[in-house]
Each structure stands twice: as C-alpha cells, then as structure tokens.
C-alpha cells in the first residue's frame, strides 16, 4: 500500500474499507453522482457502489501501486472526497479522476488534487500519458483539466449510451506546462 500524500490543503490516504461510511455519504448526493457513468446504479444503491469502488481501490493499490485516495481537508481533517489515478483494465491506460463534496466546490481543491496526481504519475511513476473523462455537461471539471494542460481528444459512447469527453496529457506536455507554471510564479 502506498504512503499517504499531502498537498498544501489536502491529506490523501489510499481509499479503503475504513472510508465506507463517508464515501457512501458523498456519492449518495445527487449533485455528486449526476455526471458519473454509473449515476443510476449509484442512486439506486450508493453503499453497494461505494463498496465496489473501495474493493477496486484496494486491488489497484495492492497490484499496481496506484489508485484512488480518500481526500481530507487539512484545515479540519474532514473527509471531502475521492480522487487519484486508476488503471483502466480494458484500455491499459491510467486515468486521473476526482469527486468532491459540493460544499468544497469552487475552492480549487479539484485542481490541487489532480495536479498532485499528475506529479505522482509523471514524476514518480514515469507514465507516458494520463487520460481523463468528463461528462459533456460538466464544464467545471473540464476547466480543471484544461488548466492542468489536458487536451480534449474526442468523445466516446459508454455502455448504456452515455457520452463522455476524452482528455489526455502526455508527460512531455505536463513537463512543458509545469515549467510554464513555475515561470509565472
């Protein structure tokens, strides 16, 4: 299992069974799951879906050394979301994703979390590319990805007919983007 990570305002701990209650509470919120590919399943049985993701998380951490984190605000220790790097079995790619409690939206946490994940994926794990998907109606999430240097590469229709927008960033583009952000400071 990986060690916890920290950003300026976030504590990241590999998502595990001990996070079931707060994670279930998070994904049960319609504002949180409305843009997710399994929104109907989550709405019908949030605890079952939370268990499924936690099981996948524990397997990914054990087998791949990456996975989703439980995200806590360092200012008060409160569980505020989930996010991390996921290995996508059917494509062999690594995806960054995140979901945060609506009470935290607009504070830059998603960008801070995703930036840390890119750092882990590119600087530590030497990945060549990281992908992301967004619901076409989720403009705030798309803006987070754009700010981090992701490029939209097209759309894909998932099982059940849901459409997602595909995004990616290469290590070279990330390094160039990271260098330009350092120069702006």
Task: Of 3-17, 51-65, 148-162, give the lowest mean pLDDT range.
Answer: 148-162
pLDDT at 137: 86
Which residues are CB-neighbours of 79 under 8 A, at least 6 positions away? Answer: 19, 22, 23, 26, 70, 71, 72, 101
- Structure confidence at residue 40 as a pLDDT band (50, 70, 90): low
Contact 23, 53 (CB under 8 A): yes
Higher pLDDT, 14 or 38: 14
Tokens, residue 54: 């936690």
pTM to 2 decimal places = 0.89
The pLDDT tens digits for 104-135 are 999 999 999 999 999 999 999 999 999 999 98
Is residue 91 over pLDDT 80?
A: yes
Q: Does domain 5-184 have CATH number 3.30.420.130?
A: no
Arithmetic mean of pLDDT, 26-43: 67
pLDDT at 185: 39
Q: What are the extents of the domains in the chain?
A: 5-184
> H or E segment at 59?
helix 46-64
- Structure confidence at residue 182 as a pLDDT band (50, 70, 90): very low
Q: Which strands form 79-88's sheet, in the order they lie side by side?
A: 5-6, 10-14, 68-73, 79-88, 93-100, 129-134, 163-170, 151-157
């Amino acid at each position: 299992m990986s060690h916890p990570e920290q950003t300026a305002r976030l504590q990241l701990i590999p998502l595990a069974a001990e996070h079931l209650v707060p994670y279930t509470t998070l994904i049960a919120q319609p504002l949180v799951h409305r843009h997710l590919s399994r929104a109907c399943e989550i709405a019908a049985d949030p605890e079952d879906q939370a268990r499924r993701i936690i099981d996948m998380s524990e397997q990914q951490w054990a087998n791949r050394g990456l996975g989703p984190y439980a995200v806590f605000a360092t200012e008060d220790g409160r569980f505020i979301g989930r996010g991390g790097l996921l290995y996508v079995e059917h494509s062999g790619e690594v995806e960054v994703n995140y979901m945060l409690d609506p009470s935290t939206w607009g504070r830059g946490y998603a960008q801070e979390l995703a930036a840390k994940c890119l750092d882990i994926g590119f600087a530590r794990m030497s990945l060549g590319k990281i992908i992301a998907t967004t619901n076409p109606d989720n403009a705030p999430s798309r803006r987070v990805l754009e700010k981090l240097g992701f490029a939209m590469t097209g759309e894909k229709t998932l099982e059940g007919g849901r459409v997602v927008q595909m995004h990616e960033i290469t290590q070279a583009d990330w390094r160039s983007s990271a260098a330009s952000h350092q120069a702006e400071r």
